[in-house]
Chain A
Amino acid sequence: MEKEKTKNPNQNSFLFNLLTNRASSMTLAVVFALVFTSLLVWMMKANPISVFQTIITGAFGSTNNFTQVIQAWVPLVLASLGLMFTFTAGLWNIGMEGQIVMGAIFSYGIIRIFDGSDASSALVIILCILAGILGGTLWAFLVGLLKNFGGVNEIFGGLGFNFIADAVMLFLVFGPWKPEGVANGSTKMLDTRFWLPQIEGTYLSLWALGIAIVCVILVTVILQGTYFGLKLKAVGKNNKSSFLLGIHTNRYMLLAFVLCGVLAGLTGALQVLGFNHVLRNNISGGYGYIGLMVGMLANIQPLITAPIAFIFIALSKGAAGLGIDLKLDSNLAGVIQGALVIFVLIMDGVRKVLIKKFKGVQSG
């Protein structure tokens, strides 16, 4: 260490600056991720250029495709926003998936109650959303309790509850809630008057989009403009100091789970009311899992989740056409997303290690 420090003082070299500048190192990460995926595609004997073309056309090539991207952006950005609370508090809420599922189940439960009644549809929809929020919150709260009072790591608690939520879903759609006669893993369709109004000929609901945009603003304001947000951040950065500064650290960690659950539940409710219009297995669409990656890249800045979630969902939706056009599996989207995060983590690590090694810690 010591010798290297004196031997390699070439801090002005191009490479050194390239790797230690935040913007250029992140750009490099993206380039590496693209090169890596191109290599994979090439290995599968396909042309990388046409793959990226297909993805872009698949996402933006037509109004129909584009509305699908926007429609799917809503749940992903909501999930990512929820995770902003837990990430800010330094927690890993892998249980997001299950919380979304519970949101959907609770929300559909309300539909069943009012099915066939002549209650106002606006009222029922609002009740559905509230019930969804309750479901998601409950599931998140359980994980928080286990973490705070049972010492069970939130990763394992969360995973366990994901599987349990799945089981509850399966039980319902194949059991008491299955449509008459068939058991195909889905309930019967909602009465159209309980659908969130959507643009003619598409699945895009402006209501859902509106809710997502409001949430982006709301979460940004809460996390960056309130005492609550600041205290949460303090707890996430240094639990001990925060406690000594007078913050109820346990309470705040629990609240982070609860708020995350609120957004998860909302996501689940919108999946039922605004898009699927049934309750079915896999209704969460994996948005909780992708949301964690979006959240990692957003680095606790809620506003940034919007564009990152957009890129991620455009990749996912755009890749759907790969199978038809190029005979490639659409899971390539997941590979690109994963590669992006991995290379960002690698370049970030390289940058920090280099800075620490050659610039030394700022002292005084």
Chain B
Amino acid sequence: MDNSLAISIGSIFAWAGPVIFGVMGETITERAGVMNLSLNGSLILTAMVGFVVGTTTNNFMLGFLAAALVGALIALLIAFMSISLKQSQVAVGYVLAVATKSLAYFLGAPYVGKPVMLLPQVPIPYLSEIPFIGAILFKQTILTYMSYVLVFVCFWWIYKTHQGLILQGIGERPSAAYIRGVNVNRMRYIYTGIGGALVGIGGALYSLSVKTWNGQLSGFDGIGWIILAITIFGSWHPLKGAMGAYLFVLLQYLGIVLQPLLPNINSRIFQVAPFPLMILALLFVNIGNADWVDRTLAGLPEDVRRTIAKILRAMKTSPPAALGIPFEKE
């Protein structure tokens, strides 16, 4: 009993792996000032690529590598079209989200039904022996371990390294980074590419570990949009983003667990549960930015206003100031 509970809780961490890779990739990309809106399609295409390359070469490594490469290429196309050609990031990202999904289904169709291989679990010696916790956290695949590490690496990189400070700078105030001698657009290309590669690994994780490729990513179409929302919800901070990701997967998981209790309700409805929550969460973090709030507050007595303003400020997240804005040096 105890053990099966641990295993099912452990599966939350396994499922969250791809979401974590996606959220970290998007966080880095957006921190650099570029929005990769193509996530929903990129994830499906890279899942397909990872599966096809992985299974035909019988080599997981190559599968993940190919997926990362494809993810990076899509991201770089967005970077090229928005940074160099000055097209709207939203437009480009949206079209790519749709087009890469079709591309995945088109190219992946012949591989439906091919023998499946799933990434093996590698229990970590000693740590996996820890009662309960060990079974939850340390009987996972290598990539799940990497997802734990990735969160801390991203955090460390953004806040603790010199390069990470530059990353924050180009998304926040590119002109200030420029006068400090940073080649803003080149850095934006690099980080968009890296972010895309991480998203690609996330995609391959779906098809090689969490689910598999059966022509569709059943139940996971739409996950890319959620990842974009989690990135905002996590206010572009790796640790908060990771929290959002685990919360989301937990909700999905609860949906499935609670399903038997309400047999009349289709299971897919539970999977939708996080979405209204996503909207509410976005409403909470954004409402402080709306101007009618300021106007209404101005009419309230001083002390009430102060308190409300304080609460709003605490909830509010502001995106990197230069997100989506092309940088031009005069």
Contacts and interface: CB of A to CB of B under 8 A. Distances in A.
Direct contact of A and B (CB under 8 A): yes
10 nearest A-B residue pairs (beta carbon): A338-B99, A334-B102, A349-B85, A329-B109, A151-B286, A167-B272, A331-B105, A163-B275, A160-B279, A174-B266
A166 B272 contact: yes
A155 B37 CA distance: 10
Contacts of A350: 85
26 contacts: A40-B107, A44-B107, A149-B290, A150-B286, A156-B228, A157-B282, A159-B225, A161-B279, A163-B272, A166-B272, A167-B275, A170-B269, A171-B265, A174-B264, A296-B95, A329-B108, A331-B102, A331-B105, A333-B102, A334-B105, A334-B106, A335-B99, A342-B99, A348-B87, A349-B84, A349-B85
A303 B87 CA distance: 24
Interface in B104-150: 105-110
Contacts of A292: 94, 98
Nearest to A94: B94
What's the interface size class on A, roughly?
35 or more
Contacts of A166: 268, 272
A346 B81 contact: yes
A353 B283 contact: no
Interface in A260-314: 289-290, 292-293, 296
A175 interface: yes
B189 to A, nearest CB: 16
A329 B105 CA distance: 7
Interface string A163-177: 110110011001100
Contact of A349 (B81, B103, B287): B81
Nearest to A183: B266
Contact of B101 (A150, A161, A163, A334): A334
A345 interface: yes
Interface in B58-109: 77, 81, 84-87, 90-92, 94-96, 98-103, 105-109
B96 A149 contact: no
Given A151-B290, A160-B276, A352 B269 contact: no
B98 A293 contact: yes
A331 B278 contact: no
A337 interface: yes
A28 interface: no
A174 B91 CA distance: 36
A349 B86 contact: yes
Contacts of B92: 342, 345
Nearest to B283: A150
Interface in A120-177: 146, 149-153, 155-157, 159-161, 163-164, 166-167, 170-171, 174-175
A329 B278 contact: no
Given A155-B37, A339-B99, A353-B86, 5 more contacts: A156-B225, A157-B282, A164-B275, A170-B266, A174-B265
Interface string B201-240: 0000000000000000000001001001100100000000
Contacts of B96: 338, 342
